Structure 1
Amino acid sequence: MTLGSRRLGPHREVLRSVIPLLSGGDAHAGARDAASIDAQRRNARFAKTRCMSRANPTDAHSAARRSGWSALFAACGLLFAALMFAQPAFAAYAIAQYGQPKYPPDFKHFDYVNPDAPKGGTLVLANPNRQTGFDKFNPFTLRGNAAPGIDLLFESLTTGSSDEVASAYGLLADDIDIAPDGLSTTFHINPRAHFSNGDPVSADDVKFSFDTLKSPKAAPQYAAYFADITRAVVVDPGTIRFEFRQRNRELPLLAGSMPVFSRKWGVKPDGSRTAFDQLAFETPIGSGPYLIEHNDNGRNITYKRDPNYWGSNLPVRAGMFNFERIQYKLYGDSTARLEAFKAGEYDALVEYVARSWVRRDVGKRFDSGELIKREFPQHNGTGMQGFILNQRRPLFQDVRVRKALDLALDFQWLNRQLFYNQYKRIDSFFVNTDWQAKGLPSPGELKLLEPYRAQLDPSVFGLPPTQPDTDPPGSLRANLLKARELLAQAGWTYRDGALRNAKGEPFEFEILDDSGSAQSFEPIIAAYIRNLQKLGIVARLRVSDFAVYQKRLDAFDFDVTTLRYPDVQVPGADMVDRFGSKAADEPGSGNLIGLKSPAVDAILRALVGAQTLEQLTDATHALDRVLLHGYYVVPQWYSATHRIAYKRGLAWPKTLPLYYSAEGWIVSMWWFAPPQAAQQAGDAPTPTHANR
């Protein structure tokens, strides 16, 4: 990793401070359809987050249901260049994984913002992650649902740019010192940084945040992400040092991405403190650009721009957070949400359902130009989205069974009949990136795989699997015949009106979904269930309200559910939370699959400890191969654009970021402008299927 020259300039967001814009974390790597909705949801899940977005300086919602910060950690998976640790320590305004940071020490703003964007107005949005209510403001704990947009209140020591894969610029920190041995990193806090209560951000606050997030009082993935950061040491009131268990090129980035909050959060007037995991509607004390103005009983929430926000003049904040107020209205289901938008109740809608985009996002206001539809290109890597087969259930522990379930999904039919041919089939856990495994394993991959050859399927050492196809010369019938053969090999035969095992037990399972997306997702589920019925398998859709649904996911109490892993630009510690054996037993972790594999654990150690880009690439390719050949997920689909419908008068910068979530981009970089000014800003409607 390269260090930018020394500069006491507070500009850097090592990944996506709060409101991530980079990949994921949310529904962004491409449209997900009905299942995509859930992309949003789950993104939210993983992100209690965002260095995971279930993450970019803009999306307080995505990836990972954990709050928006988990995706943030994922985007953090940055690697340092090999020679860095051989040099003496330097203080830096910025660091880059490869080469030099794009922006020089004296940069004024990111290229993808409008530094002259007018400020003002109230942006009204709907449920960003499918939740229909909230019961807390604390996004860092496991239980309950945090208010949408709550990440607007928090910041981190660093933040990243959304037109670089792996760079970091100072936000709360104005200098970064990496020790010559790579075993610690020291951050100097910008003396101008202060919390919403007026207190300066101090090293004691940073240490308190770190210690709290690693404790049992916080959601468990924080302890997993920061496992190799042994402690935070207060050097002086304005300087904090993070010490590492080992020399790991990702750790300085992880430390910089950690959300920071005041140690006074939760302190009562009498001096006593509310336990962190009991904080609900106690107002958070953060340093972010917005404050909570109004909370309507867990249904709606309004944020107001902090008139005393300390970071308004930072280069990493120029042209951002232009709305005076941001309000979220939560609707009971997707139909109510869409009809409310068409009635003018809120300002912008990110559409994840192909059928809705083509058939339902229409009407008088669209015809008159009051509402506009546009597709925006994005270059986010696309994370895996699919039906997760819970390995904690004996039913799914035979790979032949899992292969059969994969063969029963007719993507080509779904794409024609329900998706209007808007999607491509996912064939990797790292689709559309250089991290995707292709061809035969490289020597570096084989070095990781060979020690576990006896435990791995022989196919892992060949080409990555291809997804079943029903377009001629293929057919659903041929795929189902193969599936039936695999099931028979696994001991499942059809008799007495059902597919049964040797004990006579029927092959039955439940597909869990939440009420917020079930209406849109039900036709997809129904088509899949029909194909399963042809094999004698009984699958049922179980719809729960969002709170129950999330609680069941956190407890791994499900058979099958749909999940979209938040995008990552560079794989890192987030992979351990998603696929590590230890995480499989930690409630609320990202390992919904329930995967426990010594081979995968070894690959993850190599991935996290990679010293060079080649080593990281080999480890990620090896991980992709093992996961794909394990058939732990029935892959679904993706798109390379963000579909956004919005009110006339909203505008955005002429230059688009490369890596971003749609919701985060709207919140952090759009603004209100008169129609003519909006057109000049690039707000010219693009024809869509609906208006051709």
Structure 2
Amino acid sequence: MLLAAMSAGLAQSEPEWRHGAALSGEPKYAEGFEHFDYVNPDAPKGGIVRLGESTGFDTLNPILPKGNTAPGLGLMYDSLLEPALDEININAEYGLIAEAFRYPDDYSWVEYRLNPQARWHDGTPISVDDVIWSFGKLKEVNPSQAFYYRHVTSAEAMAERVVRFTFDAPGNRELPKIVGQLIVLPKHWWEGTGANGAPRDISGATLEAPLGSGPYRIGAFEPGRYIEYERVADYWANEHPVRVGTNNFDKLRYESYRDQTVLLQAFKADQYDFRAENSAKNWATGYDFPAVRDGRVVLETFPDKARGIMQAFVLNLRREPFSDIRVRRAFNLAFDFETANKTVFFGQYKRIPSYFAGTELASSGLPQGKELEILESVRDLVPERVFTTPYENPVNGDPASLRENLREAVELLREAGYELRGRQMVNVASGEPLEIEFLDNDPNSERYVLPYAHNLERIGIKMTLRTVDTPQYINRIRERDFDVTTLGWAQSLSPGNEQRDYWGSEAADRPQSRNYGGIKDAGIDALIEKVIYAGDRDELVAATRALDRVLMAHHYVVPQFYIDVDRTARWDRFGHPENIPEYTHGFPTIWWWDAQKAERVGGRG
């Protein structure tokens, strides 16, 4: 009787299996839901959608950290869990390859129970062995992913269809969902031999179309020019609740073009169908052509509520001028956003005041409440000014304001050990002039970089603009071979473990990390952990604001500009659900081919 009672107690302590889970509260969709609310479950299947991109590709290996991976490879693979598009980014996820998952109250491990229907495109069941092998190879081959998953200590089979991932410490609420996003690869295919008889190598580039499990497989392709994906008619998850009403096109094709100018002209010539426009000038002046005027091309904006953003002049802290906060602040004072917005950007942008611009996560004013408590707990590690002085970007926009800010910049540079000698700013100790290079891969950047360089020249700093091709640019950023460049970080509405990769000290010297500037700061590290281990949504928001406030106080970057809508242009051949989710337009995932519209529009290049 005693043994039976003990066994019953142990059984009761086992966590329950879940169909879905949220970081805070309950997921929107209850167990047994038929489809997401935002899809059209009766959307027609058929047609083709063509997308344009400017990077090209040289490998079809989805996890390789080097080279240029083909766009759209994610269409070929399912993950253990799938997020809904109408809930806060990664806040809630639902089972896909995993029919259910569970974890204890302390989040010290997670188990996934695989769906017995899950299949690779060759009909082989997706196995626990595939999941464990994929996790191991991802960490082995990709240093960035090894860092991202470093708190996962083991992956082991618990039953025929159950895999457990164990974590190195309890309390990280995000890890069960992060592991659920793992790309699962077919072990039997990658450990087999290719058509040439040679063993396949997951650690190397390949142009052999790999085996997948997702709604699409690779059809025709030509490296550097195009790749086409074909819908899998007998896809195992066609009727799965997270897939109903999605992936409606028979074909998706990505066309590669050599630069952004050619990319826009190709769209006008009906060489591809849908374009997300990130240039204010193009949006204001580039779409006055017959197909827009007669309605064959639709221009439409969608609210951008799914993310925060920091886009900035990223200063390489590994290089001497920018290791000094006074130099970094001087560079911000010289950036005349207001004039650029008026003369170059057609008044479309806002100045970025936060690493989480446009969200409730952005800090403002002085810290209060829970945010203040969190900052007090690391007071000896953060600048005192975060408690006394709200961050504000300098304001230019007229000659008087610019002169005043440039005078302040010169004074800051003098304090940092520089002085003007004639028209040159030089290091007093070495006599070396302060000269830097701005690196970019987009010729259009000169519209705002050259005026910025002119302002720096007025205080004796020479900044030259160097534009290189995209592969060279990517390699130089990876190797941290730059002085200044424009980069950005898109932020989830539920930030977590990725913050270590963005700003953590351990990521600063890792080439594949997104800590591009080389931030190393104990206070930042401590606050990242506060974000990751936040106990609820209120604490997460407060911890993120505290992190944001300290990042801004260090002047690591010169914030640029953002817009809170997505600007899109499309050839009017497509239908979409009436209730598009508020966090994304969902193109092309939840859209479909509209034969009547396509007949009216005609053409196809």
- Bin of the TM-score, shorter chain as denominator length: over 0.9
Alignment counterpart, residue 573 of structure 2, candidates 620, 641, 649: 649
- 2:511 pairs with 1:587: yes
TM-score w.r.t. the length of structure 1 is 0.81
Q: Per-residue deviation at 1:473? A: 11
Cα separation, 2, equivalents of 1:350 and 1:465: 32
- 2:440 pairs with 1:513: yes
CA deviation vs aligned residue, 1:183-221 (integer Å, no higher than 9, x gap): 211111111111122211111000011111122x12x22
Percent identity of equivalent pairs: 39
Structure-to-structure mapping, 1:237-276, within 5 angstroms: 237-247=160-170, 248-269=172-193, 273-276=199-202
Structure-to-structure mapping, 1:54-133, within 5 angstroms: 88-127=14-53, 130-131=54-55, 133=56
Structure-to-structure mapping, 1:485-524, within 5 angstroms: 485-502=411-428, 503-514=430-441, 518-524=442-448
SS of residue matched to 2:490: coil
SS of residue matched to 2:348: coil
Structure-to-structure mapping, 1:254-403, within 5 angstroms: 254-269=178-193, 273-403=199-329
Pairwise CA RMSD of aligned residues?
A: 2.2
- 2:360 pairs with 1:434: yes
CA deviation vs aligned residue, 1:108-127 (integer Å, no higher than 9, x gap): 22122111111111111100
Q: Which residue of 1 aligns with 2:387?
A: 461
Cα separation, 1, equivalents of 2:223 and 2:80: 32
Cα separation, 2, equivalents of 1:171 and 1:463: 48
Aligned length: 584
The 3 A distance-change label for structure 1 pair 237 and 362 is farther
Q: Which residue of 2 aligns with 1:670?
A: 591
Q: Per-residue deviation at 1:606? A: 2.2
Q: Per-residue deviation at 1:480? A: 1.4
The 3 A distance-change label for structure 1 pair 269 and 259 is closer
Q: Per-residue deviation at 1:572? A: 0.4
Q: What are the ranges of 5 or more consecutive residues in structure 2 without an aligned counterpart?
A: 1-11
Q: Per-residue deviation at 1:442? A: 3.4
Query: 1:484 is aligned with what amino acid?
Result: V
The 3 A distance-change label for structure 1 pair 605 and 284 is same
Q: Which residue of 2 aligns with 1:146?
A: 69
CA deviation vs aligned residue, 1:572-610 (integer Å, no higher than 9, x gap): 000000111111111111110101111111112222222
Alignment counterpart, residue 411 of structure 1, candidates 331, 337, 341: 337
Query: 1:610 is aligned with what amino acid?
Result: A
Does the Cα contact within 8 Å between 1:371 and 1:648 map onto a contact in 2? yes
Cα separation, 1, equivalents of 2:69 and 2:228: 14
Q: Which residue of 2 aligns with 1:480?
A: 406
Query: 2:23 is aligned with what amino acid?
Result: Q
Q: Per-residue deviation at 1:642? A: 1.1
Cα separation, 2, equivalents of 1:587 and 1:472: 40
The 3 A distance-change label for structure 1 pair 245 and 676 is same
Q: Which residue of 2 aligns with 1:602?
A: 526
Cα separation, 2, equivalents of 1:572 and 1:469: 32
SS of residue matched to 2:190: coil
Query: 2:448 is aligned with what amino acid?
Result: I
Q: Which residue of 2 aligns with 1:421?
A: 347
Query: 2:26 is aligned with what amino acid?
Result: Q
Q: Per-residue deviation at 1:529? A: 0.9
Cα separation, 1, equivalents of 2:501 and 2:535: 20
Cα separation, 2, equivalents of 1:396 and 1:475: 24
Alignment counterpart, residue 148 of structure 2, candidates 219, 225, 228: 225
CA deviation vs aligned residue, 1:145-186 (integer Å, no higher than 9, x gap): 000111111121001111111111111111112135532111
The 3 A distance-change label for structure 1 pair 678 and 260 is farther
Q: Per-residue deviation at 1:425? A: 0.9
The 3 A distance-change label for structure 1 pair 669 and 474 is farther
Does the Cα contact within 8 Å between 2:307 and 2:490 map onto a contact in 1? no
CA deviation vs aligned residue, 1:415-438 (integer Å, no higher than 9, x gap): 111111111111000112221112
Higher-Rg member (1/2)? 2
SS of residue matched to 1:125: strand
Q: Which residue of 2 aligns with 1:72?
A: none
CA deviation vs aligned residue, 1:250-308 (integer Å, no higher than 9, x gap): 11111111111111243343897433221422322221111110111332111101122
Cα separation, 1, equivalents of 2:595 and 2:225: 31
SS of residue matched to 1:301: strand
Q: Which residue of 1 aligns with 2:92?
A: 167
Does the Cα contact within 8 Å between 2:339 and 2:398 map onto a contact in 1? no
Cα separation, 1, equivalents of 2:398 and 2:599: 47
SS of residue matched to 1:586: coil
Does the Cα contact within 8 Å between 1:266 and 1:282 map onto a contact in 2? no
Does the Cα contact within 8 Å between 1:449 and 1:599 map onto a contact in 2? no
Does the Cα contact within 8 Å between 1:428 and 1:436 map onto a contact in 2? yes
Does the Cα contact within 8 Å between 2:440 and 2:467 map onto a contact in 1? yes
Q: Per-residue deviation at 1:512? A: 1.0
Q: Which residue of 2 aligns with 1:214?
A: 139
Q: Which residue of 1 aligns with 2:3?
A: none
CA deviation vs aligned residue, 1:609-643 (integer Å, no higher than 9, x gap): 22233432332122111110111111111111111
Does the Cα contact within 8 Å between 2:308 and 2:493 map onto a contact in 1? no
Does the Cα contact within 8 Å between 2:326 and 2:415 map onto a contact in 1? yes
SS of residue matched to 2:318: coil
Q: Per-residue deviation at 1:539? A: 0.6
SS of residue matched to 1:431: coil
